Each structure stands twice: as structure tokens, then as C-alpha cells.
Amino acid sequence: MLVTSPPLPTAAPASLDAFLAGIGPRAFRFAEAGLRQRDDALDAVQDAMERMLGYRDQPAEEWTPLFWSILRRRIIDIQRRRSFRLKFWAPAQDEDGPIDWADETPGPAQTHEQREDYARLVQALRQLPARQREAFGLRVLQELDVATTARAMGCSEGSVKTHLSRARDALQKQLEATR
């Protein structure tokens, strides 16, 4: 007689706390890419996590697209607020902002090369339109599937594929030009 084990459950977390703990680092990287400032990214992720607490009773399979939708909207809110403040209150600054000497610590040649590659990628991502950057970030960097990405972005799966394709083409052209 052949004995089979029951099917394994999907990788759904046991609790919302476990879900949030697991998604936190990826969410921070996504927010930092969109906001370009560490403190704002931390605030956006924290706000998104706090808002997720209100959805604790939702099924676990809905948490992922819901969280990314909340975080995406929070990033957009911060960007809008920042651009409003810059237009009316902040003095003009260099486009690159202040120099952050703490990030320029010397290291082995490989670490240096990786940092340069990462900087080129970040710069290329910043030049993409917002929807392409979001699609690339969610699909490639966060490894979400097309359906989940579409739900998080509030668009169709076809739109996600189009934005992602255009983002990849633009990134490839930009990165080839810098080499």
C-alpha cells in the first residue's frame, strides 16, 4: 500500500506579524529606491505596516498585494508632499544633494565594483517613469508574480507586462551606454 503525505501548505505566514517581519527588508529597499532617502523609506514602510494591522482578519493570501498597494500609495504621498515643500519652502539645492561621506568607505576592489554597478542601476532606475520603476521593482526586485503586481499597482496584468518590458529595454540601453 502506497502512503502519501498530505499536500504541503503554501508559504502563507502563520500570522500577520510573521508576514510583516518577513517582508520588511524587501519593502524597505523598494521604498528607498522610490524615495531616495533612508528616513523617508523607513517612515513609509512603518506606515504601511501599521495600516496592515487593520487588515489582520483578511485571508493571508491577500496580504501581499494589499501590503504592496499600501506601500506604493504611501511612497507616492511622500513624493507629492516633498515636491510641494521643495517648490514653496525649501531653498534650491544641488541636484545630487549633500555628500554622504559615510557611504564612501574604502573596501576591497570587488566591493567597490559592486557599489559602482549598484549606483549605475539605481541611477538608471531613477530615470525610468514611475509606473515602469514600480513594475520593475515589484516584479524583478521583489519577485512578485504578475497577478500580485497588477493588484498592487491597480492595473491589468497586461499593463504590468508592458511597463516591465519597457523598463527592461530602457535599463538595458542606459546601462550599456555607461559601460
CA angle 39-41-44, nearest 5°?
110
φ/ψ (deg, to 5) at 105: -70, 140
| The predicted structure's pLDDT at residue 8 | 41
Q: What is the mean pLDDT of residues 159-165?
A: 95
Tens of pLDDT, residue by residue over 35-91, are 888 999 999 999 999 999 999 899 999 999 999 999 999 998 888 887 766 555 545
| The predicted structure's pLDDT at residue 85 | 61
CATH 1.10.10.10 corresponds to the domain 108-179: yes
Rounded CA separation 28/162 (Å): 25
Report the percent of the chain where pLDDT is more than 90. 45
| The predicted structure's pLDDT at residue 69 | 92
What cell was used for 35?
A: 524615495
Domain ranges of the chain: 12-91, 108-179
Sign of CA dihedral 60, 11, 21, 154: negative
Tens of pLDDT, residue by residue over 4-17, are 444 444 455 678 99
Query: Chain-centre distance of CA 36, in angstroms?
Result: 11
Mean of the per-residue pLDDT values of the chain: 81
Report the candidate in 40, 61, 50 with the shortest Cα–Cα distance to residue 17: 50
| The predicted structure's pLDDT at residue 6 | 44
DSSP letter, residue 55? G
